[in-house]
Amino acid sequence: MLRGAAWIALLGILYVGAPGYGDSSAIRGFFADHVSAERAAEQKLLQIPDAANAEANLRQLTAQPHMAGTEASHRVAQWLLAQYQSYGFDAAIESYSVYLPVPEERELELVEPEKQTLATPEQPYEWDKDTYDARAVPAFNAYSASGEVTAQVVYANYGMMDDYRRLADLGVHVEGKIVIARYGEGFRGVKAQLAEEHKAVALLIYSDPADDGFFAGDPYPRGPWRPMSGIQRGSILYTSKYPGDPLTPGIAATPDAKRLSPAEAKNLPHIPVLPINAQDAGAILSHMGGQNVPRGWQGTLPFTYHLGPGQAVVHLKVKMDYQQRNIYDVIARIHGEDDNSWVVFGNHHDAWVFGAVDPNSGTASMLEAARALGQLTRGGWKPKRTIVFCEWDAEEFGLIGSTEWVEAHQQELQQKALTYVNTDVGVAGPDFSASAVPSLKEFVREVTQSVSDPCAGRSVFEVWKERLAKDAANPTGVARTEPKASADEPVPLGALGAGSDFCPFLDHAGIPAVDMGFGGPYGVYHSQYDDFYWMKHFGDPTFAYHAAMGRIIGVMALRFSSADVMPFDYSAYAKEVSGMVADLQKRAKDAGAAPTASSVAASTAAPTPENVEGDSQKETSGVTVELKPAVDAAAQLAASAERARQSLAVLCSSSVDAARIAEINHALAGVEQAFLAAQGLAGRPWYRHQIYAPGSYTGYESVVIPGVREPLDRKDYVAAQAAVADLADALRRAATQLDAVAQLASSLH
């Protein structure tokens, strides 16, 4: 019935621009005469997500530890399957056999200057029975090598690239030593990789209370931050090389897949690595000799930190049980009128322990969105496109469930999937934030204008905007990777890195992606304290934000599945790319690697007597990085995007030819795929996107245009110049794709 109303034949011009926020007469991607029906469907949907339901579902999901590879994880997948089926989804489990470790032996002791047995467990608290659950996996770093060492210790701050440079400056070397580094400032896998590259014999990673413990705020159970015994588990798979099953890069880990041997896998660590709590770290660090740490390296354990080596000697034994283990993805669909056009939503279901926030708050929210969509469907609504909800397994081990599924269905996905929306840490507090490809940033902002913040009595968007303005004026002590608000961009969205399951979709398959959730003070990440008690006391006691997250996912599903023209804004994308290229030019210039002023002037402007004469003596003969091809290609992309925008803007209901519109929509989504290069990035072919990839040595955070940026930063200007050509090719492919969009659209006028 609702769907019928959408077809009332009021002619209307498509909204592809940006009217005043909350302009109820327009919704991005909808013909004007389809807006009121969409609004009606959205109003209906918004009523459905329910806090009590979300709470009950989270309680169910967090009832027991359910790490990937365990039977508990399989049971969660089966329960999710049943839930989606009960909502009316066409759902199934897809299973893969992947190479997963579980810890078998873990020993840690201080042997000098005094004996002390460490590797102390997370402390239980009597009022939270979950903290007594013997099924919780002891703290470990997945994909640690097995090994046993006794050695002196060196403190390496966060254990990132700059920290090793600083240690070298101070004359401290880690070869043959055990490195102890704190969590933070980058992916733990990069810490392991750097320790290995610097020939350390082992790595201990601990949580300093300066970063997510008492210095940030009250620790659990008084507050939401990490207690002294809390440990951050987590994978150290070298996912910057490739994520997913380490033995089947680029192909699905089906039972009969051709597998590498573990020795051949390029993303497996070779030294033992163990995560420890602050109290164990204190026992080691307080006994260390050597120099005092440089400024900024002192954490807030109650003593003066020293770099070592000397005095403290530690014995570490880690034994891992590596096996092929089955993992279980749940894939649930509401079939649309066009079953060859998919809009995909996802989150993982595996957790290190209970995973109330990570990942189940996202799943509990998705379930409410799914229930709402199911209810609309039962009421007669049918989406234009197929809505796919995915629940991934083994994300925690290295984005494995999603990567294997993308690898298994790559061709079909690239033909059918128009978008992927990820909701991992769905609710850790009341602070909405999102990352997205530039073409979808404004879309995300608009969706959040249609959903109310449960506390503030204003839209999620308004509260988000106010928070960013306040943060910009008065930054908090706790590091956020969130971009900062500015006058130009009051509500910025971040760049997509590799922290969750959007990575294979965007970086490998070129599917336009969004990642989003409500954040907050959350110090119990990957510990046993990330449980139902925590959520009920700190994260979202009323579950109102779970319901709000369900509404956001639901509205997004409605708009993506039913928009006339998919709401991609490639002019915005082109503008961001131009900015990134300009930033690279500046970096090249600052590094002294820019071509001389005269060569730039000569290539960008007609020579004048002044610049020819004045600059003729400044020419240098060194290797430089000429970004002009990329500047030109970005300008071409911007021009093509603008032409496509104009052609699309005059489409309206009267010009509709469903098949042709679908063709346009796939062509539009295909612009993202045009950014992929078949050969991938240098040294890591799995990563094919030329604009977005995790940094090789950041691991979570995106390094934009990594192909150029990373060699530029390490002064390999030959490689950087080669990557400029690949980038320009990709930008031109995207421009050509947009030209095709414009042509298709014009043919419908």
Are 64 and 134 contacting, i.e. CB atoms less than 8 angstroms apart? Answer: no
> For residues 298 and 358, what is the distance between their CA atoms, to the nearest angstrom?
29
d(CA 660, CA 334): 23
Chosen residue from 292, 340, 608, 747 binding its own copies by CB under 8 A: 292
Active site residue 610: no
Residue tagged 């294997």 (tokens): 404
Stretch that binds its own copies, among 196-204, 266-274, 458-466, 469-477 (CB under 8 A): 469-477
CB 224 to its own copies: min, Å: 11
Q: How many residues bind its own copies (CB under 8 A)?
A: 20
Beta-carbon contacts of residue 655 (< 8 Å; ≥ 6 apart): 748, 749
- Structure tokens, 471: 């943060």
**Smallest distance from the beta carbon of 653 to its own copies, in angstroms?**
54
560: Cβ contacts below 8 Å, ≥ 6 apart = 343, 385, 387, 418, 419, 421, 566, 567
Q: Shortest distance, CB of residue 171 to its own copies, whole angstroms?
A: 18
User: b/e string for 636-648 if b means 16 or more Cβ within 10 A?
Assistant: bbbebbebbbebb
Stretch that binds its own copies, among 14-22, 252-260, 293-301, 661-669 (CB under 8 A): 293-301
CA–CA separation, 253 vs 13, rounded Å? 47
When asked if residue 88 is in the footprint of its own copies (CB under 8 A), the reply is no
Give the residue, chosen from 49, 65, 189, 219, that forms a contact with its own copies under the rule CB under 8 A.
219
Following DSSP, what letter does each residue of 44-85 receive, concatenated? HHHT---HHHHHHHHHHHTSS---TTSHHHHHHHHHHHHHHH
Kindly indicate which of the ranges 11-19, 73-81, 216-224, 611-619 contains the residues binding its own copies, using the contact rule CB under 8 A: 216-224
Please report whether residue 165 would count as binding its own copies according to CB under 8 A: no
- By CB under 8 A, residue 223 contacts its own copies: yes
Judged by beta carbon, residue 196 or residue 212, the one nearer its own copies is 212
Choose which of 124, 217, 494, 520 interacts with its own copies (CB under 8 A).
217
CB-nearer residue toward its own copies: 220 or 238: 220
The rounded distance, in Å, linking the Cα atoms of 629 and 391 is 42
The pair of three-digit structure tokens given for residue 347, joined into one six-digit string: 């989150």
> Least separation, in Å, of the C-beta of 302 and its own copies?
4
Distance in Å, CB of 588 to its own copies, minimum? 25
Give the separation between CA 62 and CA 248, rounded to whole angstroms: 31
Distance of closest approach, residue 340 Cβ to its own copies, in angstroms: 53
Nearer to its own copies (CB atom), residue 218 or residue 632: 218
Instruction: Give the per-residue SS3 of 360-410.
Output: HHHHHHHHHHHHHHHHHHHCCCCCCEEEEEEEECCHHHHCHHHHHHHHHCH
Which of the stretches 60-68, 212-220, 385-393, 628-636 binds its own copies when contact is defined by CB under 8 A? Answer: 212-220
Give 274's strand partners. 204
Instruction: Annotate 713-745 with b (16+ C-beta within 10 A) or e (fewer).
Output: beebbebbbebbebbbbbbbbbbebbbbbbebb
Interface pattern 474-493 for its own copies (x via CB under 8 A): x-xx----------------
Amino acid identity at 333: R
Which x/- pattern, by CB under 8 A, does the window 402-421 give for its own copies? --------------------
Would you say 587 and 581 are in contact if contact means Cβ atoms under 8 Å apart?
A: no
Name which of 79 and 215 has its Cβ closer to its own copies: 215
Binding mask 294-323 for its own copies (x = CB under 8 A): -x--x-xxxxx-------------------
The smaller minimum CB distance to its own copies, of residues 285 and 417, is found at: 285
Which region, judged by CB under 8 A, interacts with its own copies, from 60-68, 208-216, 438-446, 561-569? Answer: 208-216
Tell the smallest beta-carbon distance from residue 489 to its own copies (Å): 24
Radius of gyration (Cα) for the chain, nearest Å? 26
Closest approach, Cβ 311 to its own copies, in A, equals 11
Q: Nearer Cβ to its own copies, position 219 or 567?
A: 219
Give the nearest distance from C-beta 213 to its own copies in angstroms: 9
Identified catalytic residue from 109, 122, 391, 395: 395
Determine which residue in the list 135, 199, 222, 470 makes contact with its own copies, applying CB under 8 A.
222
Could you count the other beta carbons within 10 Å of the beta carbon of residue 52? 11
Question: Taking CB under 8 A as the rule, does residue 275 contact its own copies?
Answer: no
Q: Which residues are catalytic?
A: 395
Q: Which residues bind its own copies (CB under 8 A)?
A: 209, 214-215, 217-219, 222-223, 225, 292, 295, 298, 300-304, 474, 476-477
